[in-house]
């Protein structure tokens, strides 16, 4: 009794496979290799720059300069701009990084890249202003120390004059 059900089931499965073979099914393509979006690559560069040591800067900065010189595209320009503008190294030039970000804006990039460049420009300008104010504050602190020293010297002179009388 079980064999007619088994044969019927096997025939149904065979019929389904045969019909599926005759049906026109779309070919399954391999997933395309998608590179990371430009914005993500720039943000990864920013993150990497924050962690770099001075030794890493010595090797990374010339490589980025060379890549931008050979292929002056948006990706290389932004990666170099991020490194120069937000890096913590002696050869980092935030002024040049600012210039590269402005060049990116002038090259009519997509909206998201333009927003990223505009934000970076604003951050770098604020960084420069903050550095200027910090420098001015340090100068004022130095002047206060000098004035305090002069006041202390005058006080000691005055005390010595009172002792002589």
Write down the pLDDT at residue 110. 82
Report yes or no on 3 lying in a domain.
no
Cα–Cα distance, 9 to 17 (Å, whole number): 13
Structural contact between residues 94 and 84, judged by C-beta atoms closer than 8 angstroms: yes
Token pair listed for 24:
């026109």
Indicate yes or no: pTM above 0.85.
Answer: no
Report yes or no on 30 lying in a domain.
no
Give me the chain's average pLDDT, please. Answer: 80
Report yes or no on 12 lying in a domain.
no
Token pair listed for 98:
């600012």
DSSP state of 30: P
Domains of the chain: total = 1
pLDDT at 23 over 80: no
Which residue range(s) make up the domain with 66? 38-147
- What is the DSSP track for 107-157? T---HHHHHHHHHHHHHHHHHHHHHHHHHHHHHHHHHHHHHHHHHHHHHHH
Please calculate the CA angle 52-53-58 and round it to the nearest 5 degrees. 95
Report yes or no on 27 lying in a domain.
no
Give the residue, 164 or 160, on which the prediction is more confident: 160
């Amino acid at each position: 009794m079980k064999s007619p059900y088994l044969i019927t089931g096997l025939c149904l499965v065979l019929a389904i496979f045969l019909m599926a073979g005759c049906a026109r099914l779309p070919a399954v393509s391999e997933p395309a290799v998608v590179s990371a979006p430009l914005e993500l690559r720039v943000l990864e560069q920013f993150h990497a720059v924050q962690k770099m040591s001075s030794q890493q800067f010595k090797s990374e900065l010339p490589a980025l300069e060379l890549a931008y010189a050979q292929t002056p595209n948006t990706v290389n320009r932004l990666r170099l701009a991020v490194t120069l503008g937000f890096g913590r190294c002696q050869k980092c030039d935030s002024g040049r990084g600012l210039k590269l970000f402005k060049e990116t804006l002038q090259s009519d990039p997509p909206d998201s890249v333009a927003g990223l460049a505009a934000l970076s420009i604003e951050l770098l300008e604020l960084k420069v202003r903050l550095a200027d104010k910090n420098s001015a504050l340090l100068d004022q602190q130095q002047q206060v120390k000098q004035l305090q020293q002069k006041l202390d010297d005058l006080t000691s002179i005055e005390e010595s004059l009172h002792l002589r009388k």
